[in-house]
Every structure is written in structure tokens, then in C-alpha cells.
Structure 1
Amino acid sequence: MTGSNQVPYLLRAARGEVLDRPPVWMMRQAGRYMKAYRDLRDKYPSFRERSEIPEVAIEVSLQPWRAFQPDGVILFSDIVTPLPGMGIDMDIAEGKGPIIADPIRTQAQVDALRPLEPEESLPFIKPILQTLRQEVGNQSTVLGFVGAPWTLAAYAVEGKGSKDYSIIKNMAFSDPTVLHQFLSKIADSIATYVRYQIDCGAQVVQLFDSWAGQLSPKDYDTFALPYQQQVVRQVRETHPDTPLILLVSGSAGVLERMGKSGVDIVTVDWSVDMADARKRLGPDMKVQGNLDPGVLFGSKAFIRDRILDTIQKAGNRGHILNLGHGVLPNTPEENVAYFFETAKQADQLLATCA
């Protein structure tokens, strides 16, 4: 832990400062590719145990911090974690993801939902975030983690992950009234959850609208964007200075729309060239990303070239280096280490190339 009062590097980028190099962290950096995580998983086979027992979740969150010193340390959690607090029972099956026992399909089920009370239903969040802040001090930025309304609704309506989202799209396109009410209730609860995470120590919060990229641009404007905006608007009322990041998987077709959500930083995936993303989002929007996670299976020279290419295209203001999505399970740990080392030396490497 550091006693200094400096502002953490990632927070400086999120505020739009010009920096020598971009801050760097990795989505899913705590997880399956690390031997330390797999050893812990053997001891605690349930994902909910790993993410809801504070000392275990703290350990998992800190494993990559100890190994690689990333500029961001993210709360180890899952998109669906707040659903039980709203009255939607769920479990997380290893290798399969969330399973909702009684999927939300009717007006009566939506009416029966209750507002999220994080202090009561998510008592583990506060000790996890508070401890992470104490452990990393100002050497890193602690990130919160929430699902966005459309994606949470997709899980709750489908009952599990999906390839075609036919059940929620049936609801959206044939009887949208119930779905809109559901999305609004989720947005209120997620806004409460974001504010709670900030109060517990999160310095930046990332919203995962992972499945919103499955919507056409027109439908994104109807079922995803307004509820992202609802969350952001409510958070801004009480915590106007906390930077918010939005991630949408497969977002090439809705990139500009992501910028309209009100967030400070848009995560760009690898289907968009970073220079193009900068043009499309405009000079004021900050960006995160956008390396293909598969790059980390390449040679060190290949990894270095791709990192430097992204950094050059993103520029020296308002860019957080990251993968375009989570690190893949079989990624060699030494390549992850090299990713962080290279990112932290990027200013010297670029000067050498110039």
C-alpha cells in the first residue's frame, strides 16, 4: 500500500489528462488463465462462493494485481449478482454461466420485483471494495462492475445465455410493454447498485451491456440506450465525478450510439480500428481497448507491434489500454505479463520506433 496522495494513473486518463502512456488493465484479468485462480477454484468450486465470500473474492481480485501490477483492479463479480436482491433467483453453473430458475415472462412477475437494497442483499460488496482500496492504495484504480439493463433482462427472460435471444426478442417485438417496465425497474436497481459501489470504494464503474450488440441499431435505440441513459442519469445526480465505462460486445454497428449513453469512456472491441473509432466517437469521448484477446497467443514481437499500433492510433489523451473483451482461458501467463510490461514501456518503445 502507498501512503502518497497522487491520483491513480487510470483515473487521470479517465479524467482526460494527457499522459506519457495509457493506463492498462485487462477484462477478466482475474480468472481462468491464471494457475493461482484455478487452484482457488478447486477449493471453492461454486462461482458464487468465489465472488460472494469476501476473503475469496478479494484474493481473486488481487491475484493479477500481485502478478502484473495493472493500473486497474476490478471487483471480481458477475453481471447477474444483483438479480436475487430484486427477487430473481439465479445460480451460476461452472462453464455454462448464469441459470435463472424462473425466467421473467409475465406482467405479474415484473410487478412482484422489488427494488435492490444492496446493503441487505449484497453485504459482501462493501468489504471487498473497501479492502481492495486499502490494498492497492493510489498505485492502482479500483473498478466497480455491473450489468446493464438490456443484458440483465436478456438473462432473466431467456433463463440462461443464448445464441439468438429469440425469447426476449419475441417479447420485445410482440408485446414490448412488459419488457419496457422490466427494463426500467432494472435500470433503477442498477443505478442504486452503481452508487453503492462508489460509496464502498469503487473509483470507476464499468457497465457491461454485453448482449446489446445483438440488437439492430434501431432496436438498440429502443431497448438498450434509454435504459443505459437512465442508469447514468441517476448516478450523475449523486456521483457526478465518478467516471463510467460502457462495454457492448460486437459493438461496431452501435459505436456512436454507445457514446450517447452519457458515459465517460466507451470500450472499443477489435472489430473496429482504433483510429476509426476515435473519428466515429468524436474528440471528447474517451476510449478503452481494443486488442483482440487472440493476439496474446502470438509471438512477443507480434504482441508488441499490436499494442503500439493501438496506442499510436488512440493518441495520448483519454485512452485506457485493454483487450476488446476478456482474456481467453488458455492464454499463456507469460504473454499476459509481457502485455503489461510492454504497455508500461510504451512511451520509450514508441520513441525508439520514431
Structure 2
Amino acid sequence: MSAGRQLDNDRFLRALKREPVDRTPVWMMRQAGRYLPEYRATRAQAGDFMSLCRNPQACCEVTMQPLDRYGLDAAILFSDILTIPDAMGLGLRFVQGEGPIFDHPVRDERAIEKLPIPDPGAELRYVIDAVTTIRAALGSRLPLIGFAGSPWTLATYMIEGAGGSDYARIKQMAYDAPEMLDALLAKLSASVSLYLEAQIAAGADAVMVFDTWGGVLAPADYLRFSLEPMAKIVAHLKRVAPTVPVILFTKNGGQHLEAMAETGCDALGLDWTTDLGKARTRVGHRVALQGNLDPAWLFASPEKIEAAVRRVLDSYGQGSGHVFNLGHGILQQTPPEHAGVMIEAVRAFSPAYHQLG
């Protein structure tokens, strides 16, 4: 396992463990992506998005691109949250202007029973090979973050058959046949657990679970269908890799922070709709917090971006336990130099919040 690796820059890992740091670490969700011209060039060479995802060397190249451009404190594996459903044989494809589509959505009990639990060393080998390749390229430079989609989020895509839906089909299953959905979520919890375990074994220093759609659920339904499956993943990872930090992120999940902290995870990602300072008070010393600048701030002028960074740092306040990030993924139209302004502002302003002693 990757625990115990000596890194030149381990601020990110120390902040997740709420240990003292000299400044607030910073990285960006989707930091390797379409806003960078170098990414667009690599993707054009690959042919299409999934061809890029299935090419470990190309994944390594695009993972390293933002690290070479900015002073970031962590790398994140370049991949997609839908690799597990794809490995289950659902016929994933990406359509220009429409996003992901599954040719074989899961709509009934028989379809759920037929779903395999993918072997990370076989059907998902290309992802694990990408982790190994990136880890070798990073050397001792920075920590590497692995990730997966949450069971609820993956189930949403698998049942609806596409993104951008009104969640009618999955909510109908949740309300009308909850045991059927429970069976699907159990398979996905097992699949994600094995997948993240394999990423850790291949060199990931921390892992993050992206619960993109948990925030569309009513509170009781969130606890059952979104948080409970994630808690099983956390429990598995803490058994097999107890020193590797686990981050949970539910978009629009600010009302659930206390329950999320009780899973045993190490950190919670926050979107911009939750006040960072109030969140810190609510969770106390149980978890670190990651976030939470609105990505749209990066369309503002450099002076406004710097002021927004200061407000986020002020909101969290003094001491460790904060990883600066956007409240969701960086937007495609973002000027790359504006992302650089944000990162440099964190590097310049945050040491004042870490006056040791």
C-alpha cells in the first residue's frame, strides 16, 4: 500500500489528517481537463474521450499537465466516474453535446442480478495501469488522488441511461421497489470498494468518492440510498488501508455533514452553497474540510478572484484541516490564467492562517 511513502510535498495529506502545515494546500476538481489547451491537444490525438481514458500513458500525460503549469499540491488520476458501469457491460458511449449514454440501462431485477462485479485487475486494468504509470512519473513530487463515483450516482446513470435527467426512473425504483435498488447499490458498493482498494495498491495516496447526485434526495432517502453505501466503502477501505485518507463529497449535501463525518472518512468536500466556517463548527475535529470556491468566480477579474480566495480562507479560519478547492469541477470555459491567479492567491495568503505555535 502507498501509506508511508516519502513525498517532497505532503501538505495535502497532512491537512487531511489535520496535522500542522505551513500553508493551505490547493488542488482543483477536474484540474486536468478541457479548459487547458494542452489537454485538448492530447484528447484530439487520442481520438475520443474513452480512448483517452483507456490509454494509461495518455492519462499520465494529462494528469501531469496542470502540475507542470501550476503550483498544485496534489495530482488526481485522470479517469471517469463511469468506468465501473462500463466494465459491467452497459455499453457506455459519449455523444457530443449530450454527455454519457448507456445502450443497456438497468431497469429491472433480472438486469441487476446479471450485473458482474468488475475485477480491477481485468476489466478495469487500464485504470490501475494508469495509476501505476502516474505514480512512477510523479516520483516523490506530490501525492496522487484516486477516485470513484458513489454507488447512488453510478446507479442514477445506470438506471436513467444518460446524464442530465430528472431522476424519475431511479426515484421510482427507490420509492416503489427499494429492495431492488438496495441490491444494485450493494453490488456497486462492493465494486467501488475493490476498485479503490486496487488504486491504493497501485499507488494512490488518498481516494475520493464523488457523490454528484446525492443532493437530489430527501434527507431520509439520502441516508439510506446514498450515505449508507458510501459508509460501507469507507469501512472496507479503513480495514484494508487504514492510513490512506478517504474524502467524501456530496454535491448539495451540506445539510448532511454530521452524518457524513460519522462514516469514519477523513475529510468532506463542500460545494459553495455551504458556509465553510459553519461547517467547521458543525463537524469539529472529526474530519478535515475541502473546498469551496464557486468555480464561476474564475470568470471574474484577478482582483475579484483574490478577494474571493481571501473570503474562503477567512471563513475556515486559523489552523490546519482545510484543503482549498473549488466547490465543484473547474468549468470548461475558464481562462487557464485565472485558475493560476486562484492558486497563487492561496499560496500567498494562506501562510498567515498557519502561524505555528
**Under a length normalisation based on structure 1, what TM-score does the superposition of the two structures give?**
0.94
* Residue number in structure 2 paired with 1:318: 321
Q: 1:115-164 CA distances to partner (integer Å, 9 max, x unpaired)?
A: 22011011212332122222223331100010110000000000011342
SS in 2 for 1:119: coil
**Aligned-residue offset at 1:6:** 4.5
Question: Would you say the 8 A contact 1:85–1:118 is kept in 2?
Answer: no
Report Cα offsets for 1:192-223 as digits up to 9, x if no partner.
Answer: 00100000100011100100011111110111
SS at match of 1:306: helix
Query: Structure 2 length as normaliser, TM-score?
Result: 0.93
2:34 maps to what in 1? 32
Gaps of 5+ in 1: none
Contact 1:21 1:316 in 2 (8 A): no
Alignment partner of 1:245: what SS? strand
SS at 1:224's partner residue? helix
- Indicate if the aligned counterparts of 2:57 and 2:133 stay in contact, CA closer than 8 A: no
Shifted more, 260-269 versus 249-258: the winner is: 249-258
Residue 327 of structure 1 deviates from its aligned partner by: 0.6
Query: 1:111 maps to which residue?
Result: 113
1:180 has 2:176 as partner: no
Q: State the alpha-carbon separation in 1 of the partners of residues 280 and 137 from structure 2.
A: 34
SS of structure 1 residue aligned to 2:220: helix
Q: What's the secondary structure of 1:320's corresponding residue?
A: strand
Deviations 1:81-110 (CA, angstroms, capped at 9, x unpaired): 122333333223344322111111111111
Distance between the aligned counterparts of 1:95 and 1:339, measured in 2? 29
Q: Secondary structure of the equivalent of 1:181?
A: helix
Letter in 2 for 1:36: E
Structure 2 unmatched ranges of 5 or more: none
For residue 112 of structure 2, give the secondary structure of its aligned residue in structure 1.
helix
Equivalent residues in 2 for 1:1-354, closer than 5 Å? 6=8, 8-314=10-316, 315-347=318-350
Distance 2:110 2:64 in 1: 42
How far apart in 2 are the matches of 1:256 and 1:319?
17
Contact 1:47 1:94 in 2 (8 A): no
Amino acid at match of 1:261: T
Worse-superposed segment, 65-74 or 149-158: 65-74
Aligned residues: 349
Supply the AA of the counterpart residue of 2:331.
L
8 Å CA contact retained: 1:270, 1:291: yes
8 Å CA contact retained: 2:290, 2:325? yes
CA–CA separation in structure 2 for the residues paired with 1:106 and 1:141 = 41
Greater Cα shift, 128-137 or 53-62:
128-137
State the distance in 1 between where 2:155 and 2:49 align: 21
Letter in 2 for 1:252: G
Change (3 A) 1:95 1:258: farther
Mark the CA change 1:137 to 1:8 in structure 2 (over 3 Å): closer, same or farther: farther
Shift of 1:350: 6.6
Q: Deviations over 1:63-84 (max 9, x none)?
A: 1011113111111111111223
> 93-102 vs 226-235, which deviates more?
93-102
Pair 48,99 (structure 1): closer, same or farther in 2 beyond 3 Å:
same
- Contact (CA 8 Å) 1:213, 1:254: kept in 2 or not? no
Q: Distance in 1 between matches of 2:350 and 2:71?
A: 18
- Work out whether residues 319 and 353 of structure 2, in 8 Å CA contact, stay in contact via their aligned partners in 1: no
CA RMSD, 1 decimal: 1.8
Paired amino acid for 2:79:
S
Question: 2:71 corresponds to which letter in structure 1?
Answer: Q
User: Is the deviation greater in 308-317 or in 242-251?
Assistant: 308-317
Runs of 4+ in 1 over 4 A off after TM superposition: 3-7, 348-351
The alpha carbon displacement at 1:253 in A equals: 2.8
SS of corresponding position for 1:301: helix
